[in-house]
A and B are shown apart, each in its own frame.
Chain A
Amino acid sequence: RKEVEQDPGPFNVPEGATVAFNCTYSNSASQSFFWYRQDCRKEPKLLMSVYSSGNEDGRFTAQLNRASQYISLLIRDSKLSDSATYLCVVNMRNGNQFYFGTGTSLTVIP
């Protein structure tokens, strides 16, 4: 079983829509969680960390559900510039290994 699993999509949504991605992780010892954004042929860039109480950064909201072992990312009022692949990343308690999902592809359509 993979450490981190994501729905690969693609998600095609109109501008202004709200879209949500989920990501499940298999190891209950997972300690910290992140969402990265990766544009085509570019490196992943940190979008936001995910905190136990949930956190928001502008149009982006991240949630963590430890009991069910999943994290989510909600994007409100989608913009064309949100089109990218979103990677879910989980870090183990020792802080040294990161496990990546394969990414969820989002295309925002005019």
Chain B
Amino acid sequence: DGGITQSPKYLFRKEGQNVTLSCEQNLNHDAMYWYRQDPGQGLRLIYYSQIVNDFQKGDIAEGYSVSREKKESFPLTVTSAQKNPTAFYLCASSPGTEYQPQHFGDGTRLSIL
């Protein structure tokens, strides 16, 4: 089955620690995205990538980093500079062309220990 796989489902971070969230897709989509969702809030864009080896900051990129070395993979690192990382992180992908919607992975819940 084609889809987007995020791992882990739950993640706990200690103070001062960097953690990396995995996102893999086998939909052959060009564009990939990372969003953050806080309780009762909408989705906020962290980073997006339209093509391999290229990515752009979203609205709340500070304290996060990404890479796009392969078309299928778009990992997100939550660095120690992100002081309030507790949230639901969603990865999405889309073909990158008009009229095509995004598809989401089932998310990673990150909490501070």
Contacts and interface: CB of A to CB of B under 8 A. Distances in A.
How big is the B interface, by class?
Answer: 20 to 34
Q: How many A residues touch the partner, as a band?
A: 20 to 34
- A98, A101, A103: residue with the most chain B Cβ atoms closer than 10 Å: A98
A89 B45 CA distance: 13
A101 B90 CA distance: 16
Contacts, number: 57
A103 B97 CA distance: 24
A46 B31 contact: no
A31 B107 CA distance: 27
B42 interface: yes
Interface string A90-104: 010111111011110
A41 interface: yes
Interface in B62-113: 88, 90, 92, 94-107
